[in-house]
Amino acid sequence: MKQITRDVVYIGADDADLDLFESQYIVPNGISYNSYLILDEQVAILDTVDRRCGAEWFAELEQALGGRRPDYLVVQHMEPDHSACIAEAMERYPALRLVATERALRMLPLYFESFDFEGRTQAVGEGDTLSLGAHTLQFHMAPMVHWPEVMVTYDRADRLLFSADAFGKFGVLSHDEDWACEARRYYFNICGKYGNQVQALLKKASKLDIAKICPLHGPVLEENLGYYVGLYDTWSRYEAETEGVLVAYASIHGGTAEAAEMLAGMLDAKGAGKIAVADLSRCDMAEAIEDAFRMNRMVLAAASYDGGLFPPMLDFLHHLQSKGFRNRRVALIENGSWAPSAGREMAALLDTMKDIERVTPVVTIRGRMKQSDLGALEALADALLA
């Protein structure tokens, strides 16, 4: 429990030993499910937590309530990492009313088939308000940040923006670490596809006087808010944040890896900026996705396989495709001992993405890199940086 302002308390939970968030993202430092309580003439809970932390959350809530009863449960997002405890909360507190978007209310039976919400819900739309006494909550729709039913909530009294998944981050609150690193990995993997919708939310937020941002994951942002909003603006415009190159390779026996490392060294020597190298067979895929969006240039190096593309690269490109990757300059290296096919496959997938500038020609390695390949690699590095 942590005091955010005089009347607003953090009652979320740290999930430190979760193996994979959304059953796909490695979270070395866990994740927090944030929930807040506003104690005014009337009492409002903002979101619940994942069922893994339900018991802890109810205990925190009871303690923060100090014997009072909550009047409203504001549900900003129906994804189960925040909505899992809704029915149990409604059961425990019979006078509790659920406030959410029309679309969120329609989703309730998907998750709580046997619970009867009849007469206990209140739909809100863009600009609607809810007075708790001194605090007036103002609701703003944020569809597809990150599901269609999402809204954010602005507390006029304390100038707090409860921002749902926006401005969230991997990592428990008890672990002190740089915000941008894990917030960026979270953003591109979870909201990356929805840049336009994030832009729409930023536009709405720019009209509000915000003192603190209270997201559903990660720390409450209290100072220098322009820094966080600026990063979100860059990310959601699909602009590169960092001058640099991601060199991502998928290598079977090390020949492709050798070429990729060699090219990374050449790029570094030529002053390409930050260089990140990802072994797609072994690295955290979510981190490679993050770096692809972060840098302004990318090199893909892959082995040919079964007349196509070595699967770790295929997987990476499918991830980029589904996250709406765009607006970058990309160079390709393929390897093939008898019939190189990786370059063709990578190019075809990149060509389905928006505003990708492919550097030509593709450099072809046969088996292991030879002295005679160095010239082609140098030329590729120059062409990528041109």
C-beta neighbour count of 271 within 10 angstroms: 8
Shortest CB 208 distance to ligand FEO, Å: 22
Nearer to ligand FEO, 24 or 371 (CB): 24
Binding-site size, ligand FEO (CB under 6 A) = 9
Nearer to ligand FEO, 77 or 184 (CB): 77
Shortest CB 193 distance to ligand FEO, Å: 12
* Torsion of Cα atoms, 384 then 186 then 108 then 115, to 10°: 150
Residue 169 interacts with ligand FEO (CB under 6 A): yes or no: no
Distance CA 259, CA 343 (A): 14
- Rounded to 5 degrees, φ, ψ at 193 are -70, -20
Shortest CB 79 distance to ligand FEO, Å: 4
Distance CA 146, CA 181 (A): 20
Give the DSSP letter of residue 221: B
Nearer to ligand FEO, 184 or 217 (CB): 217
- CA 362 from chain centre, in angstroms, equals 32
Shortest CB 215 distance to ligand FEO, Å: 9
3-class SS of residue 374: helix
Nearer to ligand FEO, 33 or 305 (CB): 33
Asked whether 12 and 49 are in contact (CB, 8 A), the reply is yes
Nearer to ligand FEO, 146 or 319 (CB): 146
Nearer to ligand FEO, 16 or 383 (CB): 16
Shortest CB 9 distance to ligand FEO, Å: 20
Shortest CB 129 distance to ligand FEO, Å: 25
Shortest CB 166 distance to ligand FEO, Å: 10
Shortest CB 89 distance to ligand FEO, Å: 18
Shortest CB 189 distance to ligand FEO, Å: 11
The pair of structure tokens assigned to 80 is 């189960």
> Please, where are the H alpha helices in the chain?
54-65, 80-83, 86-92, 102-111, 179-186, 195-205, 225-236, 255-269, 285-294, 311-322, 342-350, 374-385
**Per the omega criterion (within 30 degrees of 0), is the bond before 361 cis?**
yes
Nearer to ligand FEO, 82 or 135 (CB): 82
**Residue with the shortest CB distance to ligand FEO:** 79
Nearer to ligand FEO, 82 or 140 (CB): 82
C-beta neighbour count of 386 within 10 angstroms: 7
How many residues in total does the chain contain? 386
Give the DSSP letter of residue 219: P
Distance CA 251, CA 312 (A): 9
Asked whether 219 and 179 are in contact (CB, 8 A), the reply is yes
What angle (nearest 5°) sits at the alpha carbon of residue 18, between those of residues 180 and 85?
A: 100
* Residue 207, C-beta contacts closer than 8 angstroms, at least 6 positions apart: none
Binding mask 65-94 for ligand FEO (x = CB under 6 A): ------------x-x-xx------------
Nearer to ligand FEO, 311 or 324 (CB): 324
Among 40, 71, 165, 373, binds ligand FEO (CB under 6 A): 165
Residue 185 interacts with ligand FEO (CB under 6 A): yes or no: no
Shortest CB 47 distance to ligand FEO, Å: 9
Please report which helix (H) or strand (E) contains residue 99, including its range: strand 97-100
Nearest-Å Rg of the Cα atoms of the chain is 24
Binding mask 108-147 for ligand FEO (x = CB under 6 A): --------------------------------------xx
Residue 217 interacts with ligand FEO (CB under 6 A): yes or no: yes
Residues near ligand FEO (CB under 6 A): 77, 79, 81-82, 146-147, 165, 216-217
